Amino acid sequence: MALPAYVGPLGYAWHYGFRIYCGLVFVFLIAPLLVIVPLSFNAEPYFTFSHEMLTLDPKAYSLRWYEDIIINPQWLHSAKNSIIIAVFATILATTLGTVAALGLSQRHMPFRTAIMGVLISPMIVPIIISAAGMFFFYSKIGLAQTLPGLILAHAALGTPFVVITVTATLFGFDQSLTQAAASLGSPPPRTFFKVTMPLVLPGMISGALFAFITSFDEVVVVFFMAGFEQRTIPRQMWAGIREQISPTILAVATLLVIVSIMLLTTLELLRRRNERLRGLSPG
């Protein structure tokens, strides 16, 4: 995009200097990813670039570490646990967060600010404090070192994201639509599924994706709450670094990066769709 004719030398310097600065920040942020991805194809069991890799020798590249993910029972078990925990925690967090957001969106709701602060507190409190509290609480009720306990713990961490995204979606919601449905004899459950839910669905999905990413990447709570049978992918990666260094960790990290990019792309598409539905951007 060309700059206006009235922009002087200082304006040009600021314009292009700011772009260069943003580019350097972007490179700084993604530099670790730029290193991990090619190393995951290293044919040798090293965490460094070999001379053959630097010279682009085809023999220096291999898919052996990606194959190890498939044939290694520990990685398969960890992946199964991560998926199960993340899926059920996401469902629970989305349900609880949506109901909470609907209640907080009501003008007659007392102490809305205080309740909102309590609901988003897992995002503010240091995660190690939350993990320690969850460990002592779930130990008392017999849910420590169990999949249900991990699901509940991860749902508690993911619920604030759903509350925030759904509340933001409800910010411009026209309450007269639900009033019109009620005046026509529609019961509250039908009004929610037919009127409210289609309009807040982008926010629900966005919150659910955030909750899924939070659960899938969480490792501190897993350290406190999980035993060997409940080991997840992040916990397995940590164990792989401490106990048996293997480039399989880099292959798993590359796959997680790809999954994160896909989820973030989905979030961006949902954000744009939500803006179009609310008339904030041209269709």
CATH topology of domain 72-245: MetI-like fold (1.10.3720)
How many other CB atoms sit within 10 Å of the CB of residue 160? 24
Which phi and psi angles does 126 have, rounded to 5°? -55, 135
Distances (CA, A) of 97 to 123, 144, 224, 238: 14, 24, 24, 31
Note the pLDDT of residue 96: 92
Residue 137 tokens, joined: 């609480």
* Residue range 1-18, pLDDT digits in tens: 566 666 677 777 887 888
pTM: 0.80
Burial of 269 per CB tally in 10 Å (0-12, 13-18, 19+)? exposed
Note the pLDDT of residue 243: 67
Note the pLDDT of residue 278: 59
Note the pLDDT of residue 281: 55
Which phi and psi angles does 171 have, rounded to 5°? -60, -40
Task: Could you list the beta-strand ranges (E) of the chain.
Answer: none
CB 266 within 8 A of CB 210: no
User: In angstroms, rounded to a whole number, what is the distance separating the alpha carbons of residues 245 and 74?
Assistant: 14
User: In angstroms, rounded to a whole number, what is the distance separating the alpha carbons of residues 115 and 108?
Assistant: 13
Kind and range of the H or E run holding 144: none
User: In angstroms, rounded to a whole number, what is the distance separating the alpha carbons of residues 212 and 210?
Assistant: 5
Note the pLDDT of residue 81: 92
Give the angle subtended at the CA of 249 by the CAs of 247 and 251, to the nearest 5°: 80
* Residue range 34-93, pLDDT digits in tens: 888 888 888 888 778 888 888 888 888 888 888 888 888 888 899 899 999 999 999 999
User: In angstroms, rounded to a whole number, what is the distance separating the alpha carbons of residues 115 and 100?
Assistant: 9
The pLDDT profile of the chain, 283 residues, written as one tens digit per residue, is: 566 666 677 777 887 888 899 999 988 888 877 888 888 888 888 778 888 888 888 888 888 888 888 888 888 899 899 999 999 999 999 999 998 888 887 777 788 888 888 888 888 888 899 899 999 999 988 888 889 999 999 999 999 999 988 888 877 676 777 778 878 888 877 887 887 787 788 888 888 988 998 898 888 999 888 888 888 988 888 877 776 677 888 888 888 888 888 888 887 787 777 667 656 555 4
End-to-end CA distance of the chain, in Å? 22
Cα dihedral value 45, 51, 54, 57, nearest 10: -80
